[in-house]
Structure formats: structure tokens, C-alpha cells
Amino acid sequence: MTKLKAWLNAARLRTLPLSISGILVGAAIASWQGYSNNNILFLALITTVGLQITSNFANDYGDGVKGTDNTDRIGPQRALQSGLLTAAQLKNGIYISIIINILLVVSLILLSFGMAHVGYILLFLFLGGFAIWAAIKYTVGKSAYGYNGLGDVFVFIFFGLVSVLGTHFLFVKAFYPLAMLPAMTIGLLSVGVLNLNNMRDHRSDKAVGKNTVVVKMGYPRAKNYHYILLIGAFLCLFSFLLTTNGSHLRYVSLIGFLPVFVHMRKVAVTENVADLDPELKKLALSTFLTAMLFFISYYYFL
């Protein structure tokens, strides 16, 4: 395998559609309210992709050096685990990606706010710095929060609330309370993807001391938790659609939940955790489909 393919493996390209889902939803709500800027949208998407790639590099490195990624783990082999990249190479990749992320975050903030809103600039610089820190500290270091059952909280905050509400604010420069509902939808679905990953890996995680929510509550309860996340996501989106005005086309985004409900049935009858691995891609792509349908309906037709 070439070095380029090794780095693409570490970047985990299949995770990127999930990471941009919140950006699409936030931009769609702003457009529906009369605020749109293709340059801000494009740079927000690129910035989010950059942060996700940094997180994936750090995850590969952190789990690799801790021994979490080992032969007992189910799922695709990681770059460090398989020897495609060394720990030193991955660490350098993390440093370079951090520099790129800083440049992207600053560029996005200046494009959105110029120099006229110092308070907003400082707030988003803090959020950007916090996002970079969170991308790294999920698995890296002795105090990695992913090893202490806090991964779900951070995923909900950054993939849901910060992604949707932050993107919306970049356009509108104001907080829209109802946007909390679709933000929670994307956040809960994203936590669902993480929970599914942790259900698949709960035995190997427990063996190496990675105390995820699934490890703490056990596999049977994690299934019930999974259903609550996905049903909660549907109810949040449905509530937003009910409380906003416009064409009935806005309900098209609910189509994205059809494969989610099929997925829930699959999880209910699955006892062999290895069979959950294909469901990760299905749930992540269902989240992206929901976000895309929401974006198309609100950005172009409402």
C-alpha cells in the first residue's frame, strides 16, 4: 500500500459525511430565514472535514499506542495497528492537521464576522480551539475522555449543537431557539453511531480499560439506550417540522428515518456483535441522507 493510501486509511473517509451533516442543517435553516453565503458554507464544510480528519488521526494514534486496537477488536484494521503508519508519523500528521485546522477556523471566522464583531470572533475562536482540543483528547493522553464514558456527551455537543447552531450563527449572527431541535436530531443520531461502534467493541474495550457508556451499562441496556437516541432524534426533527411554516416539502427529510427504523430492528435481533459492523455505515449514511434532504428542502424549496 502506498503512503497516500495509508494516510487515506487513517483519515477514515467514510466518517466524513456524518461530520458535515450538522453544517448542512445549520446552513439550510439560515437560508430559510433569508441568509445564505456559498463561501461561508464551503469553508464551514472544509473546516469540519479538517477537524474530523484530525480526530481520526488522533483516534488511530491514541487507541494504537494504548493497545485498544488489537487482534481482538472487531472492524477494519487501523493504520497504526496494521503497521501502515508508525506512531511518529501519525503524531506528525496530527501536528500538521492542527495547523491546517487553525488556519481554516480563523479564515472562517474572519469571512463570517470581518473585524466588526470582536465578541463573536473571540467566542468562535474559543469554540474552534475547544473543537481542536476535543478532536485530540478523545483517545490521546492519560485523561482521554473517550476512556471515561464522556464520548457520547462530546459527540452530542460538537456534532449536534455546535455544528448546527454554530453554522447557523455564522450566517445569521443571532441565536434561533427552534434550531435546537434539528441540532439535537443530528447530535442524537451521531451519538447513535458512536454507541453502535461501542456496542460492537464493548468486549475488547472492557479488556483494555476503555470505559465507554456501553461498557458501564452493559450490552443489553446499551440496546435500549440506542433506541432512545434514535427515537428521540426523530421526535426532535418532527417537532421542528411541525412548528415551522412553509411547504409540505419540508417533511421530505423524514424519509431519512426509514432506514433508521429498519436499522433499529436489526439491532434488536442481533446478538453477535460482529454483525453490528455493517450497521455503522448504514446509520451514518442515514444521518447524512436526513441532513441532505433537510438541506435540499429548506435551502432550495422553502
Which has the closest alpha carbon to 75: 135, 5, 19, 15?
A: 15
pTM: 0.95
Backbone phi, then psi, for 171, in 5-degree steps? -85, -50
CA 189 and chain centroid, separation: 9
Instruction: Return the C-alpha cell found at 223.
Output: 440496546
What is the predicted pLDDT for the residue at 141? 85
Residues 16, 46: contact at Cβ < 8 Å?
no
**Tens of pLDDT along the chain (302 residues)?**
577 888 988 898 889 999 999 999 999 999 999 999 999 999 999 999 999 999 999 998 988 888 776 766 676 777 788 788 888 999 999 999 999 999 999 999 999 999 889 999 999 999 999 999 999 999 998 889 999 999 999 999 999 999 999 999 999 999 999 999 999 999 999 999 999 999 999 998 898 889 999 999 999 999 999 999 999 999 999 999 999 987 889 999 999 999 999 999 999 999 899 999 999 999 999 999 999 999 999 988 77
Task: Measure the CA–CA gap between 263 and 268, rounded to whole angstroms.
Answer: 9
Task: Measure the CA–CA gap between 23 and 64, rounded to whole angstroms.
Answer: 30
Name the residue range of residue 61's domain: 3-301
Instruction: Return the C-alpha cell found at 68.
Output: 485498544
What is the predicted pLDDT for the residue at 71? 66
Give the total number of structural domains in the chain. Answer: 1
